[in-house]
């Protein structure tokens, strides 16, 4: 596969998948019925969820300064905030283009070399991934009885044990092969893993590492709270178990990587978890997914759009 075709597919496939999932979602619930859920929703909780989402983005922008400071760059908080919002908005058009734009904004307005700015973004993604893994582990621990009972009810425990053992053995063989092999794929994997480890360890070498860790935990706490408080906006969601909130949040978070900004995939991920694991009715589950996604997307469109407009004005003295 040539590079041009590969890049084209990277852009078009998430868009096509998003369009398909939007069509599928709206084929399962009429627009009229979906709008009824939006009309009867309690917007106090939706606005509170948006507020928590806003706090997470502001915290991310503030955290970014801790990464750049050791390299000798003290960027303006305003530029950091606008760059973060611009990133999210641009990611709705071309997947991962926002990260490139974010580093470019620092290069243009703060004279931070692109590769250094981009390197800090990669490092923060590693930190976010570690927190997400932590959330998954905590969820498994807190909801062990539920998850174990569900698996036992749906699957044969003996077969589950055999499957887990087989996966464990395959992982051991894979790691041994990667460690001994000098093939291009093996070297790329080793380089990637080494980069992850180096990026994670670099956090503890920061001058303000504890502030960085605090803000990382704060960002994800706000994400969870954003999802949780929005459940109170619909009466049908008020009594759902916290396990549904945690597992639904995890599934919805991963779905964002599937399409541009989670369009189509986010509400359907919520539906999949709520209906198949917790037997919550499909229509309110789908409506809730659309309410969460729409409210957070509106937040990004407003602040991201304003950021792109105001960036050159905020930095007009530099551009003169």
* pLDDT digit string, tens, across residues 29-66: 888 999 999 999 999 999 999 999 999 999 999 999 88
pTM beyond 0.85: no
The residue with greater pLDDT, 173 or 158, is 173
Residue 78 pLDDT greater than 80, yes or no: yes
| pLDDT level of residue 239 (50, 70, 90 thresholds) | confident
Q: Residue 300's Cα: distance from chain center in Å? A: 14
Distance CA 88, CA 95 (A): 10
Residue 319 pLDDT greater than 60, yes or no: no
Helix (H, G, I), strand (E, B) or coil at 205: coil
CB within 8 Å of 307: residues ≥ 6 apart:
81, 82, 83, 85, 86, 89
Residue 191 pLDDT greater than 70, yes or no: no
Which tokens belong to 176? 């041994």
What separation, in Å, do the N-terminal and C-terminal C-alpha atoms of the chain show? Answer: 45
With vertex at residue 167, the alpha carbon angle to CA 162 and CA 173, rounded to the nearest 5 degrees, is: 125
C-alpha dihedral sign at 191, 192, 193, 196? positive
How many Cα neighbours within 13 Å face the side chain of 69? Answer: 15
Distance CA 263, CA 43 (A): 21
At 266 the pLDDT is 93
Which tokens belong to 209? 């590492």
Q: How many angstroms separate the most distant Cα atoms in the chain?
A: 71
Mean pLDDT of 126-136: 87
Mean pLDDT of 72-86: 91
**Cβ 207 vs Cβ 193: under 8 Å:** no
Mean pLDDT of 286-303: 95
Residue 108 pLDDT greater than 80, yes or no: yes
At 149 the pLDDT is 66
Residue 79 pLDDT greater than 70, yes or no: yes
| pLDDT level of residue 159 (50, 70, 90 thresholds) | low
CB within 8 Å of 39: residues ≥ 6 apart:
none
Q: Which residues of 128-138 are buried (b: 16+ CB within 10 A; e: fewer)?
A: beebeeebeee
Residue 168 pLDDT greater than 80, yes or no: no
Residues above pLDDT 90, as percent of the chain: 37
In 3D space, the residue among 244, 294, 229 whose CA is nearest the CA of residue 264 turns out to be 294
Poorest-confidence range of 74-88, 93-107, 172-186, 248-262? 172-186
At 30 the pLDDT is 87
Residue 195 pLDDT greater than 60, yes or no: no
């Amino acid at each position: 596969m040539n590079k041009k075709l590969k890049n084209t597919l990277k852009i078009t496939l998430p868009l096509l998948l998003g369009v398909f999932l939007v069509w599928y979602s709206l084929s399962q619930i009429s627009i009229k019925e979906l709008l009824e859920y939006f009309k009867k929703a309690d917007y106090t909780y939706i606005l509170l969820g948006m507020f928590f989402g806003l706090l997470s983005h502001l915290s991310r922008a503030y955290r970014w300064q801790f990464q750049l400071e050791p390299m000798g760059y003290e960027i303006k908080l305003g530029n950091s905030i606008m760059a973060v919002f611009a990133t999210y908005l641009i990611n709705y058009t071309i997947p991962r283009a926002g990260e490139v734009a974010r580093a470019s904004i620092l290069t243009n307005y703060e004279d931070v070399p692109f590769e250094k700015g981009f390197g800090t973004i990669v490092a923060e993604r590693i930190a976010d991934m570690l927190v997400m893994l932590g959330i998954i582990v905590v969820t498994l621990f807190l909801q062990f009885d539920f998850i174990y009972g569900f698996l036992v009810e749906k699957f044969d425990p003996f077969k589950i044990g055999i499957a887990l053992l087989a996966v464990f053995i395959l992982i051991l063989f894979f790691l041994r092969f990667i460690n001994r092999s000098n093939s291009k794929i093996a070297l790329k994997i080793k380089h990637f893993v080494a980069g992850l480890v180096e990026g994670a360890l670099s956090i503890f070498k920061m001058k303000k590492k504890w502030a960085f860790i605090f803000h990382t935990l704060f960002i994800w706490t706000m994400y969870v709270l954003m999802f949780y408080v929005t459940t109170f906006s619909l009466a049908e969601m008020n009594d759902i178990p916290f396990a549904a909130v945690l597992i639904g949040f995890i599934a919805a978070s991963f779905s964002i990587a599937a399409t541009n900004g989670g369009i189509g995939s986010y509400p359907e991920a919520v539906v999949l978890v709520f209906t198949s694991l917790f037997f919550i009715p499909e229509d309110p589950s789908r409506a809730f997914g659309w309410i969460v996604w729409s409210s957070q997307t509106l937040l990004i469109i407003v602040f991201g759009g304003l950021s792109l407009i105001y960036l050159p004005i905020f930095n007009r003295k530099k551009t003169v």
